[in-house]
Structure 1
Amino acid sequence: MSSPLLSPKEEHSLQARHNVRWTVVMWLLIGGIINYLDRANLSIAAPEMMKELGLSKTDIGLLGTVFSWSYALMQLPSGWLIDRFGAKKVYSIAVIWWSLATFMTGAVSKMSSLIGARLLLGIGEAPCFPTAAKITSYWFPKKERGLATGIWDSSSKWGPAIAPPILVFLLISFGWRALFYITGLIGIVFVIFFLIFYKNPEKSRKLSPEERAYIQADGAGTEQGIQQSSIKWRTLFTYRSVWGMILGFFCTIWIWNIFLIFLPLYLVEVHHISLKELGIYASIPWIGGIFGNIFGGYLTKKLADKGIAAPIHAKRMLIGICALAAAVVVVIIPFVHGIVITLTLMTLALCFISAITGSAWALAGDIAPPSMVASVGSIQNFGGYFGGAFSPVVAGMIVDTTGSYVLAFVSGGLIAGCAALCYWLIVKNPIEEKQA
């Protein structure tokens, strides 16, 4: 209700000053979209790259695996670096690194060079989402982190969703190499604006006293470094909940990587979609992912707001239900034949999987002490991508050997379902700081 003492313009200005934290999410969302454009362009360029460079499906799967392994291994130092030296500094260096690696991919002509470029891409992209989790932890109270995380984590679906129509147009107009040149340059432009305009909460002049007090009431509002923690980084691996997050994210990323690398090829080879049609059809399932991310975060916020469940348990419940639903849908996919029902099932699958990833990243803020959110988030991501790195090459080998995608989807669905067991039965208690 409007205040009689304020004009509509003044009231709007006051409301805007009370919602600065939500503008921060937009930086994380845009950066995440660029991050995924730079890893998803391989799946769009794959058919033409296979023709020009003589690559097999196993080769394409191997490129996905190389990225995932380097991305996973760099999670461990990334989290520590972010907590130690600050989110803004590490993130900016990372964006520049992965943008140059993307640009380089368009210039190579041999499998060995492609492997090198994907290796560098994985190293550079590793800090992106741990940084977002860290920034979220000191800009948002715990009850809002699920929704905030769902918004920026939806970038991993916005990227693949908007990539097909845009990149297919560039592919047809300029060739596959242009995809990598253009997406690489976009990242450089973004990081320039980020460096100029993004501020941490303690340095933000736009943050009102009321909003600052609201954020700080739940322990946020200040960037805390790992040097302030009484817990040693290496001892994080001794906590049961951390291992549950590692194993649960592995189960999730296994099927996620199969969709990310092979969804366009599956539509082309099994449903005989033309290259022009691919630009639309390949983007549709990712819309379900966007919805799952945001709506899943909204549900966890509502459960916490109404006192139905504590923030940590709201996220665990959502993950468990969505993991079981994703398992059922993924297993059915290879047994249907119409393009409409296939796209419907893929959309549902990515909706459920995305709700898991968003809640899992937000869960890091509930499990970890404030000074180690990036470290715990990156360790979870390490588990997901190191183990999940096998899925593209395994799926590629299955398809090359059997001539069918059936076993790849059935096994992927069963593994995805195991995420429910990991997050519900193993992830229970937060890590407590030791009192001096």
Structure 2
Amino acid sequence: MCRTGAGREHCAALRAVLLSAGEDSGMDERRGRQAGVWLTLLLGALVLLNYVDRGALGIAAPKLKHELDLTPYAFGLAVSAFAWIYAPAQFAVGWLADRFCVYRLIAAGLALWALATLLTGFVSGLAMLVALRVILGVGEGVAFPAASKIIARHVAPEHRGIANGTVAAALAWGPALGTFAGGLLLASVGWRAIFWVFGGVTLLWLVPWLIASRPHWSDRASRAGDSVPVRTVMREPTPWLLGIGHFCNTYGFFFLLAWLPLYLVEARGLSIGTMTGMATAVYLVQGAGALLWGWGSDALVRRGWPEGRLRKGLLSFYQLSLAAAIVGAALATSTATLFGWLLLAGAVGGIGGANSYALAQIYAGPRAAGSWVGILNGVGNCSGIVGPILTGWLVGRHGGDFHVAFYASAGIVGFGALWWWLALPPVEPVAAAVEPGIPSAAAVE
């Protein structure tokens, strides 16, 4: 990754991010430098694997749906089962990330979701598929509250965009890698191999993580005494407002992640090979865009732009653009036009993955970032419960026609553009989240 020109620039930016932030725990500079780089890169790999495994069901859908004899509604039910526990678990995981060792929490969660992915290759019916999707949701729930906890602890405000952009790029490249590899497996050896290969590869991540994180299992920042009481965070209205905006953000993303392969093959009549290439290209563009949007927003912050207003504006721009792209894709009359609209969705998609978490990190500060992102993700990922069932019902009701489902998705995403800009209070650290003895920073709006 660091050998190409773009890769070298990105790795250099990552190192600048991590070295500028310092270490809350008072570790010496050399230890902090080495730990920061490796842990951040491994968190990027964690999120990449998270979305490889999460999107596996959508990739397998063209063959899995027929072999298991699933109706559109039943398939939507299986997709949504992931979020039945993933969304509410975010509240608990955020609290755990602020009070206990976040490094061990991540390892346990990944091991659980990797096993659930692997076992999905053995399912024989809807009930078993739903049960394993629920277990997958429990395991994957650790990723974003834990990653935000670490970013809030180590990253300075002027580098917050590239740090979260790294996670957002992994969030997009996970589906890209999963779609490409899964599509090849689907076409050559069938859908079950997708889950066996993806689950096994994910388990291998534990080896470097345990090596890199083990020295930090007793860090001061991981101890309960340094966290903000969860009841204090729950009484704050702002994380709930962020969660509503994130619901609109994730609704559009999950709609495309879960339904795009099936839509391209069944509704548009594309081959599995063409579907794989098209969807992979969209996610590659989204990942590259996440890094560029993160780098660009940091550059503007360093030039004196108000960070809060900038990140809110980017989120509103993103959701308006995504809503337009979803409508455009539904109305496209040719494969080339459809691909163009999907590329637009990918080009702006990286904004949503980075800036919603960055706003939560600004409000929360290092001590409460896990709990705040837990609420943000908990409310936001309810779209993963509502969206697949609603989409499956709409597609089934209209005889396999996806148009109404596309319009519903665009409407929810477009509402989010207004919400980010109008509903949030001034973006500044909340007093309860600031380190003891350090006054709250001035507003960054």
CA distance in 2, matches of 1:170, 1:157: 20
Q: Which residue of 2 aligns with 1:109?
A: 124
Cα shift at 1:196: 0.9
CA distance in 2, matches of 1:202, 1:344: 47
Cα shift at 1:154: 1.6
Q: Which residue of 2 aligns with 1:86?
A: 101
CA distance in 2, matches of 1:423, 1:237: 20
Cα shift at 1:288: 2.7
CA distance in 1, matches of 2:39, 2:304: 27
Letter in 2 for 1:88: Y
CA distance in 2, matches of 1:84, 1:300: 31
Contact 1:64–1:392 (Cα < 8 Å) also in 2? yes
CA distance in 2, matches of 1:202, 1:238: 30
CA distance in 2, matches of 1:137, 1:224: 13
Cα shift at 1:152: 1.5
Distance 1:22 1:418, change over 3 A: farther
Tell me, which stretches of 5 or more residues in structure 2 are unaligned? 1-11, 20-32, 438-445
Distance 1:251 1:73, change over 3 A: same
Tell me, which stretches of 5 or more residues in structure 1 are unaligned? 1-11, 204-220
CA RMSD of aligned residues (A): 2.3
Q: Does 1:247 align with 2:241?
A: no
Write the mapping of 1:201-212 to structure 2, written as runs, cut at 5 A: none
Contact 2:248–2:416 (Cα < 8 Å) also in 1? yes
CA distance in 1, matches of 2:74, 2:94: 30
Q: Which residue of 2 aligns with 1:145?
A: 160
Write the mapping of 1:385-424 to structure 2, written as runs, cut at 5 A: 385-402=381-398, 403-424=400-421
Cα shift at 1:226: 5.0
Which residue, 215, 221, 224 being the options, matches 1:223? 221
Please state whether the residue corresponding to 2:431 is helix, strand or coil: coil
Contact 2:171–2:353 (Cα < 8 Å) also in 1? no
Q: Does 1:375 align with 2:390?
A: no
Letter in 2 for 1:41: A
Contact 1:267–1:282 (Cα < 8 Å) also in 2? no
Cα shift at 1:299: 2.3
Letter in 2 for 1:425: L
Segment drifting more, 118-127 vs 101-110: 101-110
Letter in 1 for 2:329: I
Write the mapping of 1:23-422 to structure 2, written as runs, cut at 5 A: 23-198=38-213, 223=221, 225-229=223-227, 231-309=228-306, 311-402=307-398, 403-422=400-419
CA distance in 1, matches of 2:174, 2:73: 24
Q: How many residues align?
A: 404
Please state whether the residue corresponding to 2:124 is helix, strand or coil: coil
CA distance in 2, matches of 1:156, 1:338: 29
Q: Which residue of 1 aligns with 2:30?
A: none
Please state whether the residue corresponding to 1:62 is helix, strand or coil: helix
User: TM-score, normalised on structure 1?
Assistant: 0.87
Please state whether the residue corresponding to 2:305 is helix, strand or coil: coil
Letter in 2 for 1:241: T
% identity of equivalent residues: 28
